[in-house]
Amino acid sequence: MSGGDASFASGADGETRSARAYLVVARRYRPQAFAELIGQQRIAAALSHAIETHRVGHAYLFTGARGVGKTSAARIFAKALNCLQGMSVAPCHQCDVCQGVARGDDMDVLEIDGASNRGIDEIRQLRANVHVRPSRARMKIYIIDEVHMLTKEAFNALLKTLEEPPSHVKFIFCTTDPEKVPITVLSRCQRFDFAPVEIADLVDRLQQIVLAEGATAEPEALHLLARRAAGSVRDSQSLLERMLAVGGSTISVEQVHQLMGTAKSTRLVAMTHHLCDRDAAGALSELDAALAEGVEVGQLAEQLVGQLRDLLAVAVGCRPEQMLFHELSEYPTLQELADRWGLETMLAAVQILDQTLMRMRQSLHSRTLLEVALVRMARLEHLDQLPTWISQFQGHSRGALPSASAAASSGKSAPVARIASPSRPDRGAGGSETVAAKEEPAQTPEKKKPAEVIRDPAAEPALTPANLTRIWRQALSELNDMTADCAQRCDRVTLRPPHFIVAAFQPKYNSSMAYCERPEPRGRLEEALSRAAGQPVRVDFQLLAPATTTSTDARGSTPQERLRTARSHPFVQLAVELYEAELTQVEAPARTEASNANSPATPGEA
């Protein structure tokens, strides 16, 4: 204990501690000097330097989370400015002013609660009193706590006084929400942001208080209290107050878990092992055992989030010192769990837990929601392999199509196929996917050899009739707006040398073609095609003439004969296998003049 704490704890007002009303730990061990501010050395040094160089401003704004020392720093600053022994960074703590400020009842240092004195009438009264000189101190200091609670009218009434106060007036504003303070007020103050206190600093302070109280505590128990406080000195001391009240002179880890309703670290690790093994029943059994020990469902869910946070930190290569919720000795165990579970899987598990916590706060069935979350987490696949699977699938979908150039070398026309992505398949009358093709005799057996069916797209030229369809589909896959939706309704694409792609639409998709012809959609489509082809590409659009319905094609084949012929074609067989489709209809190509002139049956149409 430092001298300032000892004097205050023993009774700075001259009374013994046993003779006055009991003060809680957070008040008895409140910092009384800049050196006693925990984790705020940077701010303490700045304020001390301002006093030593006589560069004290007229308005200060202290911001930060609850319990990090904002009001304590304001009181220390006020004592340093008004101490009867002289303005100094080390006030005497013995004069009437120092003791009055420490108790919060000094007549020249006024502490105002912004939440209950937030109206314009209170600010008008303050403006009327600022011109009254201090009674015994050298300065009149206003400490307004939770200043962001003031109304807009109150802030506006304070602006002029805040900008040009009398020389004997200082303002110190404290707030946990600086975003709600008007910018006109912020610009008139010197702002200091108080950071959350490190766990190590909290543990040291708690250990000092335990020794001063004549008690003992296990180091791990103090670490649990410090981690639960989440950077707040006051919260950590309030938790210690509870332990001293119910735990006696010895504070153990078991007592801390029982008081806070939290689970042991071994229980969390065992539950995580079951989740890694995809053992939902084991995870639910651990949950049931934890609840039987008195663990609260909400606290357990929060602990699981903290466990996953440290697992993620270990998975990405952080040092053991960067763990927030575990001891250094647990690092090897967490490393083994992180390697088994995988980073992507843990990220998905965090999302599941986060959504569950939000729902638990609004539901009466917290346990059921947590059990559902554990089952979902246990059923997660090893998602770290997902990028590899996607890459393999993309490579298979690009390379599985047969070579159209092989068909061209045989002197036969490749079938005319509808352009349809897997997400937007064409539907026939029966509701199944349809592949439309011309009548084509079955290829010779040598054309079915794997070396000719599966080809490497990288070995093909930049833009040829053989890879035209692949480039078109690749370009559409890069677009995620209405352009892709409309372009996917294209019936067929053909190549017009040197670098024009002609996209033909059926008359029923006239509006889709009209949208694609607009300058912006056309530009996006041409950019995507150019990237896919590796060379500049231009696009033209063509509206096909209405097809006439006939029972037979030009060579007199019936629809049933065309269907049997198409089913035996290697291209159709591979398309059915790749897209899990069913061939139900084969349409004969239109024999119009426009179709014969603009849509020749070339290998590029496949």
Q: In the predicted model, what is the mean pLDDT of residues 579-594? A: 65
For the ranges 61-75, 160-174, 417-431, the lowest mean pLDDT is seen at: 417-431
**Both 453 and 517 in a single domain?**
yes
Same domain, 361 and 423: no
* 486 in Cβ contact with 515 (< 8 Å): yes
pLDDT in the model for residue 397: 52
Residues 377 and 400 reside in one and the same domain = no
Judge whether residue 236 has pLDDT over 90: yes
**φ and ψ of 137, to 5 deg:** -90, 175
Specify whether 329 is located in the same domain as 429: no
CB atoms under 10 Å from CB of 500, counted, come to: 13
d(CA 12, CA 76): 15
Alpha helices in 196-322, H assignment, sequence order: 199-212, 219-229, 233-247, 253-260, 265-276, 280-292, 297-315
Residues 126 and 270 in one domain: no
**Residue 419 and residue 473 in contact, taking contact as beta carbons nearer than 8 Å:** yes
Nearest to 186 by CA among 162, 161, 218: 162
Cα Dmax for the chain:
118
Is there a contact between 81 and 51 (Cβ–Cβ < 8 Å)? yes
pLDDT at 601 exceeding the cut of 60 = no
CATH number of the domain residue 528 falls in: 3.30.300.180
Would you place residue 146 in the very low, low, confident or very high pLDDT band (cuts 50, 70, 90)? Answer: very high
pLDDT in tens, 188-215: 999 999 999 998 999 999 999 999 988 9
Domain membership flag for residue 518: yes
Compute the mean pLDDT over every residue in the chain, rounded to the nearest whole number: 80
Residues 278 and 407 in one domain: no
In a domain, 184, yes or no: yes
Residue at 555 is within a domain: yes
Assigned domain for 100 exists: yes
- 409 vs 283, 452, 453, CA distance in Å? 62, 12, 14
pLDDT of residue 547: 59
Mean pLDDT over 466-492 rounds to 86
Number of domains in the chain: 3
Does the structure show a pLDDT above 70 at 438? no
Q: 403: pLDDT confidence band, cut at 50, 70 and 90?
A: very low
Q: What is the pLDDT of residue 271?
A: 93
User: Residue 454: pLDDT above 80?
Assistant: no
Same domain flag for 375 and 397: no
Q: Tell me whether residue 307 is in a domain.
A: yes
Q: Is the pLDDT of residue 7 over 80?
A: no
What tens digit of pLDDT does each residue of 546-566 get?
Answer: 755 444 444 446 777 777 777
- In a shared domain, residues 588 and 445: yes
Report the SS3 class of residue 445: helix
State whether 362 and 505 are in the same domain. no
CATH (domain of 46): 3.40.50.300
User: 211-225, 369-383, 463-477 — which is least confidently predicted?
Assistant: 463-477
Residue 1 domain-assigned?
no
Say which residue, 154 or 401, is predicted with more confidence: 154
| CATH number, residue 347 | 1.20.272.10
Q: Answer whether residue 580 is part of any domain.
A: yes
Identify the pLDDT of residue 386. Answer: 66
- For residues 175 and 64, the answer to whether their CB atoms sit within 8 Å is no
What SS3 class is residue 173?
strand
**Rounded mean pLDDT, 337-360:** 91
What pLDDT, on a 0 to 100 scale, did the predictor assign at position 509? Answer: 86
For residue 353, give Cα distances in angstroms to 314, 325, 369. 19, 17, 10
The verdict on 47 and 159 lying in the same domain is: yes
The predicted-structure confidence for 412-433, as pLDDT tens digits, reads as follows 333 343 444 444 444 433 333 3
Tens-digit pLDDT profile for residues 520-530: 888 888 888 88
In a domain, 189, yes or no: yes
- Asked which of 151, 176, 194 is the last residue of a domain, the reply is 194
- What is the reported pLDDT for 434? 37
Identify the residue with better confidence: 232 or 592: 232
pLDDT digits 0-9 by tens, 256-288: 988 888 898 889 999 999 999 899 999 999 999
Verify that 469 and 404 share a domain, yes or no.
Answer: yes
**Residues 399, 374 within the same domain:** no
End position of a domain, from candidates 137, 166, 194: 194
The predicted model gives 248-255 an average pLDDT of: 85
pLDDT category at 5 given cuts 50, 70, 90 is very low
Give the residue from 160, 194, 228 where a domain finishes: 194
Residues of the domain holding 352: 265-381
Q: Flag whether pLDDT at 596 surpasses 80.
A: no
pLDDT at 600 > cutoff 80: no
- Average pLDDT of span 162-174: 94
Examine the pLDDT at 122 and tell me if it is beyond 70: yes
Question: What residue type is 22 in one-letter code?
Answer: Y
